[in-house]
Amino acid sequence: MSLPARLCTAVGTGALLLTVVNQLTAPALDPALERGSVLAALLAVGLLLIGVLWTRLQPEPAARAPLQGDEGMLLRRDLSPQLADELSWGTRMLLTATPAAVVLVLWDGDCLIHRGLMDSTAQQRGFVPGPVCQMAWQRDRSIHLVDLRHYPGRDEFMPLLEGLPSVIVQPLGRRGLVVLGGWSPRCFSTADQLWIEGWALRLRDAWLPAGQAVAEATPASRAPGTLEQ
């Protein structure tokens, strides 16, 4: 409960108790005293209701989950420099401006960048899109799983990072995905989701097709899909 809500609740409770005590200890119950007690009780109840509504409108954010891992970045080596810079900049902004703990970008089944909190086996395990990702592609809209503890298909996101409380799956058309894991349940706001959607549209329309074309035209020194850390 936030501080203003606590103050409203405390003042309302105190006023209601004082009204009851004043009514019980009064030597005589005249009409003026009764009218004053009723008005004071109504004001006290109003303050209590304001405190309750304030808590519902501005709930306290959930505590961060104790996620295990180290900060890192895996970037595909054969990307064009411009696309690599865009992916690095965008994922950095998502990790600093939103409650995301880890970000993954897939394109045509390949991992372009995996950044944020990750364990030592992240590169070996890889991320394979499952039913939730397929549904995001079919609907062509993001899917926000606010609390993975209550979702039976949460194992789909175990390769991303174990114990993730929440996930957003943002499609990049039908060829790619941006997957974000949050620090706590219900941590992504509407503004966060709009920011993620906007960057995903920028990637899909302006960067990924051109970046892939440059990468295919330039022979890579390493096998396609190799990630650098």
pLDDT tens digits, residue range 160-216? 888 889 999 999 988 899 999 998 888 898 999 999 999 999 888 877 665 454 444
Mean pLDDT of the chain: 81
3-state secondary structure of 119: coil
* Percent of the chain scoring above 90 in pLDDT: 28
pLDDT score recorded for residue 67: 84
Residue 7 one-letter amino acid: L
Structure tokens at 45: 């109840």
Q: What is the DSSP track for 10-48?
A: HHHHHHHHHHHHHHHH-S---HHHHHHHHHHHHHHHHHH
Q: Are 168 and 196 in contact, with CB atoms under 8 Å apart? A: yes
* Span 62-86, pLDDT tens digits: 677 778 888 889 898 888 888 999 9
Q: Which of 47-51, 96-100, 122-126 has the lowest mean pLDDT?
A: 122-126
pLDDT score recorded for residue 225: 42
Q: Are 196 and 170 in contact, with CB atoms under 8 Å apart? A: yes
CATH number for the domain whose boundaries are 70-228:
3.30.450.40
Cβ density class 139-166: b for 16+ within 10 Å, e for less? eeebebbbebeeeeebebbebbbeebbb
| pTM to 2 decimal places | 0.67
* Span 132-160, pLDDT tens digits: 999 999 999 999 998 888 888 788 888 88
